[in-house]
């Protein structure tokens, strides 16, 4: 059997589970944003995780995603790394719907904005963080197949090597081999339009700006490099595969009557409005996240962000299952919580494409009416919270308004010192936060998974769309930042909630 060596090796990071010989506890197929975020989450939980990536380095051909939405910035802030991204990007009002910008600056969050930052930068920063966490990355390598049984999963890699693992997570994109090999259906809609995106030079001065016509929507703008960034709808769906300069020239001529002397492309990519979602995010020891689980048009910039949030929802759950502090049933909540989120993303991207793709009088009128509606506060806030991910609400049953929603980043006082709540989540552990040293419960049996902190807070509790809510006496926050339990001073339901999310109490 060939010997396979990662490009980076663990440097003394403790592991709660010993990896099998010639293997790891978890193998992630794909080192894009979703795979890297998941690797970091598992490493923070001291899980022996490795990434398998087909690229030799983190270089990315093409611009792809263009930024981070508010909730993604929040989850990075929860891990103490948001500043790394904020320093490299530009704070903007990024959320939009059918080209109508949605100002979210009045929503109750510390990050009431987006961050314009290309995927290539996002990946480099994530890769640097993962390297600091000593996660091994097998580069120039692909997952070719696997076999699984009750004891684990054997993952076959290009070159003939095999790695054993407890779990395999497919973060390998829309054409995911992991998803196909697992036999997971990928239902949805076929493409109705095809877009080309490219970064090029032009001998003639282009017509910058956005436009609609009978073919669809198009735009020319200046790229960071000083070149021209092109987005153009093709006249036909007949052309498939990797696009070339001739395809781009033909598309420009069809729209503008000229190709502006297009030359020297840095990259050209093709994407469609196909919208598909995995029927299940798990089959046995195989799980899916990011584009492997859901694909859709890039309008609204939600794809990368949804993938990052998949990773943060899955990471702590998978870590506890690997550590055997929780049963495999915990993984069922990954699908039940994240599948509806992506289904809503697919729905809103389909709606946007339906409104954007043609320039006929009826659709122009519909866009104008929608723009007028979105100028009103309530519709603007509702769609702004949806597009930015701030309104995500997991169904955790009846109870306090906080239940299932993202925990606000409160300015707390702990032992007389100021402390932001998100700083208490940097280690990706559960948090039981009390106000006034309440005798809620002895959490010693869960102390290896949950931190108990008593704090003071005098301000308002406010949630996007919901508004101000009653201040709880205590709150249990999951590692992903969502509220699992909120108490009024009694212990009712807390032990059951701790067991549900963090496993049985330790002896």
Dump pLDDT digits (tens) for 124-165. 999 999 999 999 999 999 999 999 998 999 999 998 899 999
DSSP letter at 471 equals: P
Question: What totals of helices (H) and strands (E) does the chain contain, helices first?
Answer: 11, 30
Does residue 270 have a pLDDT over 70?
yes
Phi, psi of 425 (to 5 degrees): -105, 5
Confidence of residue 241 (pLDDT cuts 50, 70, 90): confident
Q: How far apart are CA 226 and CA 99, in angstroms?
A: 24
* Cβ atoms of residues 447 and 440 within 8 Å: no
Section 226-247 average pLDDT: 90
Considering the chain, what is the average pLDDT of its residues?
A: 91
Q: Is 436 exposed, middle or buried (0-12, 13-18, 19+ CB in 10 A)?
A: exposed
Q: What pLDDT does 102 receive?
A: 95
Q: How far apart are CA 228 and CA 230, in angstroms?
A: 6
Strand partners, 282: 287
* Cβ atoms of residues 93 and 104 within 8 Å: yes
Section 57-67 average pLDDT: 69
Phi-psi label, residue 380: left if phi above 0, alpha if psi -120 to 50, beta otherwise:
alpha
Pairing of strands 450-455, 162-165: unpaired
Q: How far apart are CA 287 and CA 331, in angstroms?
A: 9
Q: What pLDDT does 505 receive?
A: 85
Q: What pLDDT does 18 receive?
A: 36
Over the stretch 460-470, which tens digit does the pLDDT of each residue have? 999 999 999 99
End-to-end CA gap in the chain: 43
Residues 6+ apart with CB under 8 A from 457: 410, 411, 412, 413, 435, 471
Q: What pLDDT does 268 receive?
A: 92
* Cβ atoms of residues 318 and 327 within 8 Å: no
Does residue 440 have a pLDDT over 70?
no
In which residue are the tokens 């866009």 written?
367
Q: What pLDDT does 21 receive?
A: 41
């Amino acid at each position: 059997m060939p010997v396979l060596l990662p490009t980076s090796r663990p440097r003394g990071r403790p592991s709660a589970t010993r990896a099998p010989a010639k293997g790891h506890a978890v193998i992630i197929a794909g080192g894009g944003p979703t795979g890297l975020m998941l690797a970091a989450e598992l490493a923070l939980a001291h899980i022996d995780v490795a990434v398998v990536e087909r690229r030799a380095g983190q270089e990315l051909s093409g611009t792809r995603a263009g930024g981070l939405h508010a909730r993604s910035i929040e989850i990075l802030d929860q891990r103490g790394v948001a500043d790394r991204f904020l320093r490299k990007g530009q704070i903007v009002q990024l959320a939009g719907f059918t080209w109508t910008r949605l100002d979210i600056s009045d929503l109750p969050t510390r990050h009431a904005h987006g961050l314009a930052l290309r995927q290539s930068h996002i990946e480099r920063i994530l890769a640097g963080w993962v390297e600091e966490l000593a996660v091994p990355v097998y580069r120039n390598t692909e997952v070719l197949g696997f076999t699984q049984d009750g004891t684990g999963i054997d993952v076959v890699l290009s070159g003939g090597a095999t790695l054993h693992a407890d779990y395999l997570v497919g973060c390998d994109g829309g054409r995911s081999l992991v998803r196909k090999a697992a036999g997971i259906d990928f239902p949805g809609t076929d493409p109705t339009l095809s877009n080309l995106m490219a970064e090029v030079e032009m001998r003639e001065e282009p017509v910058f700006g956005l436009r609609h016509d009978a073919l669809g929507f198009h735009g020319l703008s200046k790229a960071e490099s000083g070149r021209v960034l092109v987005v153009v709808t093709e006249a036909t769906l007949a052309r498939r595969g990797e696009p070339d300069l001739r395809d781009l020239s033909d598309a420009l001529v069809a729209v503008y009557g000229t190709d502006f002397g297009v030359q020297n492309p840095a990259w050209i990519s093709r994407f469609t409005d196909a919208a598909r979602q995995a029927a299940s995010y798990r089959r046995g020891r195989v799980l899916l996240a990011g584009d492997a689980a859901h694909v859709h048009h890039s309008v609204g910039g939600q794809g990368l962000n949804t993938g990052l949030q998949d990773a943060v929802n899955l990471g702590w759950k998978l870590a506890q299952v690997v550590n055997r502090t929780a049963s495999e049933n915990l993984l069922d909540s990954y699908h039940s919580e994240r599948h509806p989120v992506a289904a809503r993303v697919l729905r809103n991207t389909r709606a946007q494409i339906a409104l954007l793709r043609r320039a006929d009088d009826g659709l122009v009128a519909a866009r104008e009416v929608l723009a007028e509606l979105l100028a009103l506060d309530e519709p603007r806030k509702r769609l702004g919270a949806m597009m930015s991910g701030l309104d995500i609400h997991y169904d955790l049953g009846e109870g306090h308004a906080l239940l299932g929603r993202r925990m606000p980043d409160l300015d707390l006082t702990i032992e007389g010192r100021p402390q932001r709540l998100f700083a208490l989540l940097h280690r990706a552990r559960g948090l039981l936060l009390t106000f006034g040293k309440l005798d809620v419960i002895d959490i010693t049996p869960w102390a290896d998974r949950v931190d108990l902190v008593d704090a003071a807070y005098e301000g308002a509790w406010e949630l996007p769309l919901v508004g101000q809510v009653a201040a709880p006496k205590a709150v249990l926050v999951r590692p992903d930042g969502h509220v699992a339990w909120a108490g009024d001073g009694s212990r009712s339901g807390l032990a059951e909630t701790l067991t549900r999310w963090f496993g049985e109490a330790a002896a």
